[in-house]
Each structure stands twice: as C-alpha cells, then as structure tokens.
Amino acid sequence: MGNTPANLIKPRERILETAANLFYANGYRAVGIDRIIAESGVAKMSFYRHFPSKDDLIAAYLQRASDNFWVWLETITRDEPDPRQQLEAIFRAVTNRSIHPACLGCTFMAAALEFPALEHPAHAVALAYKRGVLAKLTELSRLAGAREPEVLGAGLMMLMDGAWSAARMFGPGNHAQHVATIAKLLIAAELMPQNSKKS
C-alpha cells in the first residue's frame, strides 16, 4: 500500500513539482514552506537537505522554468523555415498560451515584482531569462532583415510581456488573443523600409 506513483518519484522532484504549481498560482511570499512540504508529502528535514533555504528553492524553480521555456521555444520554431516565420510562430504560440485558462501570466515577472532588488537570487534568475528572450527576439529580427533589430526586438518583447500581463490581470478571454496579429503587423512594418523612416 501507499505505492502511489507520487511516492515513487524522488523527494527533490516532488518538491520542485509542487513548488512550481503553488508558486505560479499564488506567488512566492504567499506560499509557505509548510504548505509545500505538506502537499509534496515530504518531511521537513528532507526538504532542507535538498534546499538550504526557501530562496534556494525559488531560484531552483525559476531555473527549471527557464529551462522548460527554452525547450518550448525550440519545439515551436523547429519546423519554421526562416527567421520571420519563426518570429510569427512564436507569437502564435504566445497567443494560444495566453488565452488558455491555465495561463496565469509570467512567473519571472512575478519574481521581479516580489523581489525588486536586482541582486536578489530570484530576480537575478528571472532577469537572466528575460535578457535571453530579448536577445533571441532581437537576433531573429536581425536575421529577418529588420532595419533596426533592437527596436523590433524590444517591441516584440514588450508585446510578449504585455500578453502575459493580460492573462494574469484579466483572466481567460483577454486581449492577448490579438498578440499574434499585432506582432505580424509590426514585423511587416519594420521589414518594409518605407514605414520606418524617422519622424
């Protein structure tokens, strides 16, 4: 008895899985260690053996979330033939994810808001992730032939973060449903030199 699948997974993974759900849905300060321990079915000392402190757990969770995101991005863009279509594919995926009821916004943004200090481990992991996304979008913009890749990259980045914000703030059925359309429009505009002349 008691040989439920959950008990066969090692404690560290069970903790990270439980923490992921709780942190994402409720935030970081709102979720206590006791609750994570109770819901993951792990002893307190086992927890502190794997994670010296709550901040360490948060940082580990964010790192795992970051890794997961890059895998997700890779699967999305894998079959797209060129940079422009890769960008458009990314924003179709963002649309699909944003309007899904399970989407509760961006957990990295939540980390930055709850831990304002840039040096805080949680903020640092979140910032590294966001820097990576911005760099990726900028690089794809450059490869797609944008006149000002940094500007287009910044614009797409803001659209993406705005979509996550909409999901959290408005709940299901929010205006992030239009992000793919807007992104496509923006890409088209920045790729046509006649539209990007200075004022």
Residue 34 interacting entry, from DNA, a copy of itself, none, C-beta within 5 to 8 Å by type:
DNA
The nearer residue to DNA, 86 or 107, going by C-beta atoms, is 107
- Contact status: 50 vs DNA (CB under 7 A): yes
Cα 165 from Cα 157, distance rounded (Å): 12
- Contact status: 121 vs a copy of itself (CB under 8 A): no
> Hey, how many other C-beta atoms are within 10 angstroms of the C-beta on 110?
21
> Hey, how many other C-beta atoms are within 10 angstroms of the C-beta on 84?
19
- Contact status: 39 vs DNA (CB under 7 A): no
Residue 130 interacting entry, from a copy of itself, DNA, none, C-beta within 5 to 8 Å by type:
a copy of itself
Q: Candidates 76, 109, 143, 191: give the one binding a copy of itself (CB under 8 A).
A: 109
Residue 59 interacting entry, from DNA, a copy of itself, none, C-beta within 5 to 8 Å by type:
none
- Name residue 96's amino acid: N
